[in-house]
Structure 1
């Protein structure tokens, strides 16, 4: 490991934001980028030495190697994190459009799933059953559900998720608005006590393997569709009609007042899911505009 790699390692070790998986992927990604810069002839003495020319050289190399645009966008996410933590946030533009990357096509069909009894009955471990139900009831990610501690997060009328358990280290709040949500939280509290759904004395890594084994055996994989189901339920609650992915209208068929409500609902759902951008909701809710309609400003 050269000077840059060591400097980045100290930085990623020092900053504890984000879930375990997020931090591990970020560390591996930044070390790979450090090695790539060295191959390009840049011997950076420290992380603070990053400059726009280094980013440009990286993107050029990735394109020459035939790296796909979605992968380049992911790598640029690590570079942005790096720039932010050396107080050089303006080093990269806010959008990837300046780098000539194709726009992300987010919607790939309706993937929403419900936590139906016949689905949950296939799961033998009661803690994993509750984790799956939390994903469906509050839109939690897998790691967030397994590490969820009701004694710390249940604030009565909302859940407060702390940065150490969330992807990207984003604190967020999720409202508790339905009696079934409250009933679920009481079930989790009875089983987890003051802890999480991970049993005492068991590491997250070990229990994650148990989770994967159980969900694979039940034929539901990562069960990410449960998060989609939550997003679509929240959209219906917030707007009063179904989202496009579930057969509802797109924006060009709405009056101005309803289009504004659609936008506000998507922004709210993005925050509850732990995202920061409106376009991310296309993945969960379907596109705001039909595929043949040119995206209007705003």
Structure 2
């Protein structure tokens, strides 16, 4: 790797990133946000990825950080616009520090970050054909995680830390899926089993898990496993969050009986509500109630506290 001499090790990573960003002579109207974003990225590298040297940064680490920005947006910690701005600053800093674009990640296309409005204008779901192709390209362990993300709507971290054996046992006995590990603040969420595919996905994951406590091999640290998975998914044409998008949009149609805005290609708001009214032969007021209740259920199943976050999935 080619890199400028910015002092790229350990505690100097934040300073090196800021220096690299400023060397680009960016007319940044928010220097504080620049430092906040690059400090946040350096912290993610060190604490979540075990990286203490910018020379060791790979594209998979930037993708991992983008996923973290996605989680922060969904948890109402940052705005959609801030998520985009943070990743943009990381891209510029790394490009100037490395003198190449090998680690650059496109915010929407590659990372699946929300549009600045927070409202999706097209379907980010992984289609069935791409999903099946990806399953054949990745190792069995990651393959079952993709199935869990698609059928249960799990985040990548949740699909990694899940105790599939106990989750399957509870789902079979009680008809309830419990998501406990890797969730926001460790908060438990529960929702009803809605398809046999969910039980099949859990059964396959439990077989891979074997005697381990989760789907992370017992001989690997979380940071090591995370980096490995992001390298492996780069060999496909999908991204983890796209499986969760598919879950949300499939659930919208199953619960409401109509397609979501991004799948019906009806604009978010009144246009889509009128579409619902026409399809269901109900009043606009009833269409609004149906839409809200559907989004509320999906929000709960995805582990969100705001119904509005579904705009990023459904439009």
CA distance in 2, matches of 1:189, 1:202: 18
Secondary structure (helix, strand or coil) at the match of 2:190 reads: strand
CA distance in 2, matches of 1:236, 1:263: 13
CA distance in 1, matches of 2:151, 2:176: 12
Shift of 1:25: 6.3
Partner of 1:272: 301
Partner of 1:117: 132
Partner of 1:143: 157
Q: TM-score, normalised by structure 2?
A: 0.56
CA distance in 2, matches of 1:176, 1:170: 19
Secondary structure (helix, strand or coil) at the match of 1:259 reads: helix
Partner of 1:214: 232
Distance 1:105 1:187, change over 3 A: closer
Unaligned runs of 5+ in 1: 1-23, 30-67, 76-102, 287-298
Q: Determine if contact 2:153/2:248 at 8 Å carries over to the other structure.
A: yes
Q: Determine if contact 2:134/2:237 at 8 Å carries over to the other structure.
A: no
2:183 to 166, 184, 187: 166
CA distance in 2, matches of 1:131, 1:69: 26
CA distance in 1, matches of 2:249, 2:231: 28
Partner of 1:4: none
Shift of 1:146: 0.9
Shift of 1:141: 0.5
Partner of 1:107: 120
Distance 1:25 1:153, change over 3 A: farther
CA distance in 2, matches of 1:107, 1:273: 17
RMSD: 2.9
Q: Determine if contact 1:138/1:174 at 8 Å carries over to the other structure.
A: no
Q: Determine if contact 1:231/1:269 at 8 Å carries over to the other structure.
A: yes
Give yes or no for the alignment of 1:251 onto 2:273: yes
Partner of 1:40: none
For residues 47-105 of structure 1, give each alpha carbon's deviation from its aligned partner in whole angstroms, at most 9, with x where no partner exists.
xxxxxxxxxxxxxxxxxxxxx98339999xxxxxxxxxxxxxxxxxxxxxxxxxxx943
Q: Determine if contact 1:107/1:282 at 8 Å carries over to the other structure.
A: yes
Give yes or no for the alignment of 1:224 onto 2:241: yes
What is the count of residue pairs matched by the alignment? 195
Distance 1:240 1:202, change over 3 A: same
Shift of 1:187: 1.0
Shift of 1:158: 2.0
1:181 to 179, 198, 203: 198
Q: TM-score, normalised by structure 1?
A: 0.58
Distance 1:73 1:184, change over 3 A: closer
Secondary structure (helix, strand or coil) at the match of 1:174 reads: strand
Distance 1:73 1:224, change over 3 A: closer
Secondary structure (helix, strand or coil) at the match of 1:224 reads: helix
Partner of 1:234: 251
Shift of 1:276: 1.1
CA distance in 1, matches of 2:198, 2:209: 16
CA distance in 2, matches of 1:26, 1:271: 29
Shift of 1:142: 0.6
Moved more, 111-120 or 268-277: 111-120
CA distance in 2, matches of 1:69, 1:193: 39
- What aligned pairs does 1:37-186 form with structure 2 within 5 A after superposition? 70-71=81-82, 104-114=117-127, 116-123=131-138, 125-154=139-168, 155-156=170-171, 157-162=175-180, 164-186=181-203
CA distance in 1, matches of 2:122, 2:307: 18
CA distance in 2, matches of 1:72, 1:211: 22
Shift of 1:133: 1.0
